[in-house]
Amino acid sequence: MPKASEEQRLDLINAQQRLRAEGRSAVVVVTGVDGSGRHRLVNALTHGLDTRGVKVHAWSREDAPGSDRPPLWKYWQGLPAQGQVAVYLDGWYAEPLDRALRGASPELSAIRQLEAQLIGHGSVLVKLWVERPLAEARRDLRKRLKREARDPTLSEQRVLAAEDGAQDQLDALRAHSEGWTMLSGKAPEVAADQAREALIAAMSAPTPPVPVPGHHRNRGAQALAALDMSAALSKKASNKQLPEAQAELARRIWAARARGQSTVVVLEGADAAGKGGVIRRLTDPLDARLFQVVPVAAPSDEERARPYLWRFWRHLPKAGQVLIFDRSWYGRVLVERVEAFCRRDEWQRAFDEINDFEAQLTDHGAVVRKFWLHISPEEQLKRFEDRAETPHKRHKLTDEDWRNREKWDDYRVAVEDAVARTHSAKAPWTLVPANCKRHARLAVIQTLIDALAPD
């Protein structure tokens, strides 16, 4: 294996220590076709690093976890914490590479988003492409398989059976994804040396300024003002309609499960808007194994150490489940924006990040529905007072809740923005007048019934 020089090792160790001191992480992607020498390069690259801070993610295509989740899920799982280095063999280029080998052009938008989020989080991203003409890679691969007396893996089979147009598609893939350091697969020693230098340089560079997206405040958006806040449902009507709707929803959820289709429900709303009550009516008629409720509170240290959406990616269940978020990733553009818990550029970037995240869910077949339960300030005050007076509800009421009331208008602007910028045909918002709890509960259930196919 090509070893690092004494000087390089010292540079690597120093760069790694600086990374740690700055609380940043590094992500290294090593790709190229099978037979180009990627594995040797990965080994060479980690030589000289303090291995306690390094994790290599190298699945073969057939072993990669989570094929029953959106494709990028498995890469999100492995994102490094602060001070750590994650080396991905192929990583999120595995699928585009496979497509290229089959002569097809790749879909890169989700990948670009992931890389942008890494950089936005302050991570060091190093992309290494080990270049080897397909014909030569094939020849070496055949030799290796013979020597190791084994069958080719799935990805090796793809290289051996690569289509005629594959080389062109590989070149196109590289050209359309940015920031590659090109290494020669013919000269492993040189490639290893260059790879280490690239890593040292990237880890030693100052944190680049984060690009701030242009912000278009939707001043015209008045979706909330247009709501009919007098919408209400009588107790009698609710007693009849709610159980019927619940039963119908349960039937459709069983049917979705049989199809292997997931449902992702996002519940947002001001304090005391009635999210808990809605969740209870949603879940009461459901078999406990059909759904999961994810209450979103303060992040753990493992969560804080990674790009924002990591804490949501990690909860994604296998296909066929109902996942209900009691507050959600919209916290970034609601509470975190209003309370300045994150930087301005962070919440401004979040709209695109969220749209991309939800598109990955729906592209994978999930039904995504987002609800804003809207109450008036007067109704909220009434509910707060009720909470203060009811012993078993008192824990729900905090000083923060009272403080949040003072920012009612800021939240209103944030909600209008969020809805305007993240509403889409496949992941639509439903704004629910929620001064009447019975009305709100039925409205949410009815919307979900309409979203799910009857069988």
- CA distance linking residue 337 with residue 49, whole number of Å: 38
Query: Which residue, 120 or 331, is less far from a copy of itself as judged by CB?
Result: 331
Amino acid at 263: T
Q: Which helix (H) or strand (E) holds 433?
A: strand 429-433
Contact status, residue 38 vs residue 130, Cβ threshold 8 Å = yes
- CA distance linking residue 106 with residue 100, whole number of Å: 7
Write out the two tokens for 279. Answer: 């969740």
Among 21, 146, 148, 406, binds a copy of itself (CB under 8 A): 148
What's the sign of the alpha-carbon dihedral 310, 311, 315, 316? negative
Q: Which stretch binds a copy of itself (CB under 8 A): 204-212, 234-242, 253-261, 360-368?
A: 253-261
Query: Which residue, 17 or 362, is less far from a copy of itself as judged by CB?
Result: 17
From the CB of 344, what's the least distance to a copy of itself, in Å?
Answer: 28
Amino acid at 7: E
What's the sign of the alpha-carbon dihedral 80, 86, 89, 91? positive
Alpha helices in 306-407 (DSSP H): 310-313, 335-338, 344-363, 377-389, 399-405
Mark 94-123 with x for binding to a copy of itself (rule: CB under 8 A) and - for no binding.
Answer: ------------------------------
Check binding of 21 to a copy of itself (CB under 8 A).
no
Among 22, 43, 172, 345, binds a copy of itself (CB under 8 A): 43
Check binding of 9 to a copy of itself (CB under 8 A).
yes
Q: Which residues pair with 373 in a beta bridge?
A: 269, 432
Residue 281 backbone phi and psi in degrees, to 5:
-70, -30
Q: Which stretch binds a copy of itself (CB under 8 A): 119-127, 202-210, 279-287, 416-424?
A: 279-287
Give the closest residue to 199 by CA, choosing from 121, 122, 126: 126
Q: Which residues pair with 454 in a beta bridge?
A: none
Check binding of 89 to a copy of itself (CB under 8 A).
yes
Residues 6 or more apart whose Cβ sits within 8 Å of residue 58 = 39, 42, 87, 88, 89, 90
From the CB of 345, what's the least distance to a copy of itself, in Å?
Answer: 28
Size of site (CB under 8 A) for a copy of itself: 61
From the CB of 316, what's the least distance to a copy of itself, in Å?
Answer: 12
Among 119, 233, 279, 419, binds a copy of itself (CB under 8 A): 279
Residue written as tokens 């190229």? 32
From the CB of 391, what's the least distance to a copy of itself, in Å?
Answer: 5
Check binding of 157 to a copy of itself (CB under 8 A).
no
Q: Which stretch binds a copy of itself (CB under 8 A): 6-14, 104-112, 180-188, 365-373?
A: 6-14
Check binding of 48 to a copy of itself (CB under 8 A).
yes
Coil, strand or helix at 202: helix
Q: Which stretch binds a copy of itself (CB under 8 A): 35-43, 179-187, 230-238, 412-420?
A: 35-43
Residue 403 backbone phi and psi in degrees, to 5:
-60, -40
| Subset of 395-434 contacting a copy of itself (CB under 8 A) | 395-396
Give the closest residue to 249 by CA, choosing from 238, 429, 257: 257
- CA distance linking residue 74 with residue 97, whole number of Å: 17
Q: Which stretch binds a copy of itself (CB under 8 A): 113-121, 207-215, 248-256, 425-433?
A: 248-256
Give the residues lining the site for a copy of itself (CB under 8 A).
1, 6, 9-10, 12-13, 17, 38-39, 42-43, 47-48, 50-56, 58-60, 63, 65, 81, 89, 148-151, 250-251, 254-255, 258, 276, 279-280, 283-284, 286-289, 292-293, 295, 297, 300-302, 318, 320-321, 326, 390-392, 395-396
